[in-house]
Structure 1
Amino acid sequence: MTNLTQTKQMISMVRKYERMSGRQSWNEEDMAKAVAAVVSGKMGYKLASRTYHIPRSTLQRRASKIRYQQPDEPKPLMGHYRRVFTDSQEKDLVGYIKSMEKYFMGVSRRDIRELAFQYAEDNHLNHPFDVNSRMAGEDWVRNFLKRNPELLDRSDHENILEPVNFDQFYHFMCQLS
């Protein structure tokens, strides 16, 4: 009988459960309002936290996810490698390279590596490129050319006279934009 009474007491305890901590006592609507106020700049973290009764650290984490999220983030790849450019950014690079080939005599792999580094720096992207040499890596350019095989077709560019001065071209392209 004692086991039966203990079981009944345990069941009655569960029905009368009262939460002891105040963790996550806020609701999602208040969180959304607070995040919107912080992201729009109407309130700071402290004021929004006090106004909407939300923990400041949670508000900071949620707001930073929205504030620093890029609308067109690169898709993650398998393994520990990550893409530097989005698909639209790679299309821009391909367009730059094609116009380099059109207006100037030729484009070397080195030019593509320099262009990729400069493009990543100008767009403030996180990249694993070498800052000392100011170029993308050889593996990156090899994979970039595999993803864009139209750049490998060099049949009409058999008579390449000299490599192009990358800095001149990049500034030329910036002026056109």
Structure 2
Amino acid sequence: MRRAVANTIVMVRKYERMSGRQSWSEEEMAKAVAAVVSGKMGYKLAARTFHIPRSTLQRRASKVRYQQPDDPKPLMGHYRRVFTENQEKDLVGYIKSMEKYFMGVSRRDIRELAFQYAEDNSLNHPFDCNTRMAGEDWVRNFLKRNPELLHRSERDYEPVNFDQFYHFMCQS
């Protein structure tokens, strides 16, 4: 989301959600799906009881009935996640390994690692190909999702030869 300020475009750093979509909790959805699948309630009654959209409840219940794997939680808006949860766990593992074998990593190192990981896995990503790094917003949100890395990456460290380490980790 961009905001025009005095003929310049400034990125909004803190997004405030305005939509009421998907305001239900996963726990309530699970209870409603269980009630519908077990036959205790119909779609309409379960949707009203648990304050969940009926169409969403129908879709989730049919997936449970027909044993389809559940899709990852969709994101609101036009932003899409670059990495799956497993890929992010791999990144966290790489970063922890770097900290174990070397002095540590900076935010810049994490941004470079994310770009290189996305390129090596042929993922569609919005990262800057000129600087070959992920954006500042991405790394901030990544560290929010993985708070165990937050306190470590805030410190100043010695420079790390990132390319050698990454290729060493890929070979092992």
Q: Give the TM-score of the pair, scaled to structure 1.
A: 0.54
State the one-letter code of the partner of 2:79. Y
Same amino acid, percent of matched pairs: 88
Shift of 1:73: 7.4
Q: What is the SS of the residue equivalent to 2:151?
A: coil
2:168 alignment counterpart: 172
Q: What is the SS of the residue equivalent to 2:82?
A: coil
User: Are the equivalent residues in 2 in contact too, given 1:76–1:83 (CA < 8 A)?
Assistant: no
- Residue by residue over 1:23-67, the C-alpha shift from the partner in whole angstroms, topping out at 9 and shown as x without a partner, is xxxxxxxxxxxxxxxxxxxxxxxxxxxxxxxxxxxxxxxxxxxxx
Would you identify which runs of 4 or more consecutive aligned residues in structure 1 move more than 2 Å? 71-76
Shift of 1:79: 1.1
1:152 alignment counterpart: 150
Cα distance in 1 for residues equivalent to 2:117 and 2:71: 16
Shift of 1:154: 2.9
Name the CA shift for 1:148/1:72 in 2 (closer, same or farther; >3 Å): farther
1:78 alignment counterpart: 76
2:92 alignment counterpart: 94
Q: Give the number of the structure whose residues are more often strand, by fraction.
A: 2
Q: What is the SS of the residue equivalent to 2:124?
A: coil
Q: What is the SS of the residue equivalent to 2:128?
A: coil
Name the CA shift for 1:161/1:90 in 2 (closer, same or farther; >3 Å): closer
Q: Give the TM-score of the pair, scaled to structure 2.
A: 0.55
Shift of 1:148: 0.1
Unpaired segments ≥5 residues, structure 1: 1-70
State the one-letter code of the partner of 1:108. S
Name the CA shift for 1:163/1:128 in 2 (closer, same or farther; >3 Å): same
- Pairwise mapping of residues 5-154 of structure 1 onto structure 2 (< 5 A)? 75-154=73-152
Larger CA Rg, structure 1 vs 2:
1
Q: Give the number of the structure whose residues are more often helix, by fraction.
A: 1
Shift of 1:75: 4.0
Q: How many residues align?
A: 104
State the one-letter code of the partner of 2:141. N
Shift of 1:161: 4.9
The alignment's C-alpha RMSD in Å is 2.4
State the one-letter code of the partner of 2:89. K
Name the CA shift for 1:161/1:89 in 2 (closer, same or farther; >3 Å): closer
State the one-letter code of the partner of 2:130. N
Q: What is the SS of the residue equivalent to 1:153?
A: helix
Shift of 1:153: 2.8
2:41 alignment counterpart: none
